[in-house]
Chain A
């Protein structure tokens, strides 16, 4: 009996430790910016998708999207969440057309985006959107949001891995706060805005490993949404 007992005590099943952690968020990095003009608005994003390490998931995975009511939403953060959010936005835009027989205005759509983000207040979309379009008077409007829908209407803004690189440059060239005698209220022309966006991203690509490959620029004006593509460094 005693030998049987000792045998039973001596036996122990191998202990396997499993981690059942689930990480719902990934930062896919990349950069987006928006610039507001007098009668147009510009939105630009690079198309590199990473996961915060040294690998590149995709070189051409756009994160700025045109919606059917001639607005554009540029995202950074989690690409999967961004895709879902943009689909929600497009659905709301289409539903509005069927219900009211006209397109939703840009400020209304901006408010919808804020509400969509806040509905997920306690399990947010990990997305930092820049939303842009023309307002009721045909003037450019750029809105930026945090992940839970706090909204701000701005003249220009940058979000993402190279935001800290881009924002001081845009402030300098658009606000002109430190240039004596400069018109600090003047908005950039369309050609200036395109040049600023390309210059800003070319510079950001030099120092930020998560920004690069291709640059997609959307310009919204009274004629509609125009899209330009420029090549950035692939390294």
Chain B
């Protein structure tokens, strides 16, 4: 089994009308053994930029810590909050620095920029940016998520509609993936603030 499938994850981000959503499952595993049911995979970077990290759990923690440091340094030097697109390029450079000994992480970034325009993208393990205007997915349930997203997502969803869509997508996908699940969390990022909701799901 690939090291990318060692811990298990399902992360999805979607664009709505003047809002974005990012959601993940909560399982941490060592292959088929479930170790933790409250493992955080989606992290706030700024008040309106979130990142989802799927892959090897030790690298999830390390990369999150290093990103926190780099974003804080950016804030001190620039005296402003980092934009999602700028942050993505910072992350891309950090990953490509380790071109020949990469972090076993494929990240997803979701946020609103200073003009409240939605921004989402996914990166591979060495930092190649795949920006999208609809949805991005990563993790062991990526194929399931693609199928569900492709059929359920539609343009210009409001915050509540987007919440329902991303929740249905994630829950249906993790039910068909043995490596992810055990609860889920959804963040809806709107110009007026972030709505965070925990979802109950099958615990098997």
Residues of B within 8 A of A203 (CB): 147, 150-151
Contact B150 A172 (CB under 8 A): no
Interface SS majority for chain B? helix
Q: Which of B147, B152, B172, B176 counts the most A-chain CB atoms under 10 A from its CB?
A: B147
Interface SS majority for chain A? helix
Any B CB within 8 A of the CB of A115: no
Any A CB within 8 A of the CB of B168: yes
Instruction: For A169, give the chain B residue with the smallest CB separation.
Output: B151
Q: Considering the chains assembled together, what is the distance between the CA atoms of A200 and B146 in angstroms?
A: 12
Contact A171 B150 (CB under 8 A): no
Q: Which of A132-160 contact B (CB under 8 A)?
A: none
Chain A proximity of B119: nearest CB distance (Å): 22
Chain B proximity of A165: nearest CB distance (Å): 3
Contact B151 A178 (CB under 8 A): no
Any B CB within 8 A of the CB of A20: no
Chain A residues touching B, range: 10 to 19
- Give A194-208 as 1s and 0s: 1 = Cβ < 8 Å from B's Cβ atoms: 000001100110110
Q: Considering the chains assembled together, what is the distance between the CA atoms of A206 and B176 in angstroms?
A: 20
Residues of A within 8 A of B173 (CB): 168
- Give B116-160 as 1s and 0s: 1 = Cβ < 8 Å from A's Cβ atoms: 000000000000000000000000000111111011100000000
With A167-B144, A168-B176, A171-B176 already in contact, the answer to whether A206 and B150 are too (CB < 8 A) is: yes
Contact A162 B147 (CB under 8 A): yes
Contact A169 B172 (CB under 8 A): yes
Contact B147 A168 (CB under 8 A): yes
Residues of A within 8 A of B147 (CB): 162, 164-169, 203-204, 207
Any B CB within 8 A of the CB of A177: yes
Contact B171 A178 (CB under 8 A): yes
Residues of A within 8 A of B144 (CB): 164-165, 167-168
Contact B168 A172 (CB under 8 A): yes
Contact A172 B143 (CB under 8 A): no
Residues of A within 8 A of B150 (CB): 165, 203-204, 206-207
Q: Which of A173-211 contact B (CB under 8 A)?
A: 177-179, 199-200, 203-204, 206-207
Chain A proximity of B132: nearest CB distance (Å): 13
Q: Considering the chains assembled together, what is the distance between the CA atoms of A203 and B148 in angstroms?
A: 9
Q: Which of B167-197 contact A (CB under 8 A)?
A: 167-169, 171-173, 175-176
Q: Considering the chains assembled together, what is the distance between the CA atoms of A67 and B204 in angstroms?
A: 39
Chain B proximity of A133: nearest CB distance (Å): 26
Instruction: Please pick, from A165, A167, A177, the residue contacting B146 in the complex, using a CB distance under 8 A.
Output: A165
Q: List 13 other contacts, CB 8 Å, given A172-B169, A199-B151.
A: A165-B143, A165-B150, A167-B144, A169-B151, A169-B152, A169-B172, A171-B175, A177-B171, A178-B171, A203-B147, A203-B151, A204-B150, A206-B150
Residues of B within 8 A of A (CB): 143-148, 150-152, 167-169, 171-173, 175-176, 201
Would you list 19 pairs from A and B whose C-beta atoms are within 8 A, ordered by A residue?
A: A164-B147, A164-B176, A165-B144, A166-B147, A167-B147, A167-B176, A168-B144, A168-B172, A171-B172, A171-B175, A172-B148, A172-B152, A177-B171, A178-B172, A178-B201, A199-B151, A204-B147, A204-B150, A207-B146
